[in-house]
Amino acid sequence: MDIFQDPTLQAIGPYMSRLSKRQQIVASNLANIDTPGYKTKEVSFNATIQELLSETPAPLRVSRPEHTRGRLPGPPQVQPYEVPGLSSGLDQNNVDLDRELLKMSETSFGYSMMAEILRGKFRTLSMSINEGMR
């Protein structure tokens, strides 16, 4: 079994990168909550693990024969955009504290979930290795 070819492991990295980018955008929105004219930004977050699996991974450059022949996923394509339809205050700022805190909480939960899946994969691998040593 080649652990570098595990589709779940190949998808977790890009998905966590998306989560990280989303958290950065939320933090930026919160930092600008009192900035006149600032418009709330968001990143498209409709990507699922299945969509990430369908992305073409970039091949690893192999400089020595004993190196792995695995593949790394390409960088996530996350583009921030202004959120349409949000109500603005008198200063034309449309950042909503409750909305941003909810986004932050959702993103944190997603990151924790992916980290737990990753821990489970490595726990299984570790148990397999330890059983093989007996």
d(CA 101, CA 104): 5
d(CA 78, CA 43): 6
Note the pLDDT tens digit of each residue in 72-90: 545 546 788 899 999 999 9
Backbone angles phi, psi at 43, to 5 degrees: -120, 145
Residues 6+ apart with CB under 8 A from 87: 94
Q: Measure Cα distances from 62 to 2, 10, 66, 70 in Å.
A: 16, 18, 9, 9
Backbone angles phi, psi at 32, to 5 degrees: -105, 20
> CB count, 10 Å around CB of 42?
18
Mean pLDDT by 10 residues, the chain (134 residues): 71 84 95 96 68 54 60 60 92 96 94 91 86 70
* pLDDT given for residue 86 in this prediction: 93
Domain layout of the chain by residue ranges: 3-60+68-132
> CB count, 10 Å around CB of 103?
21
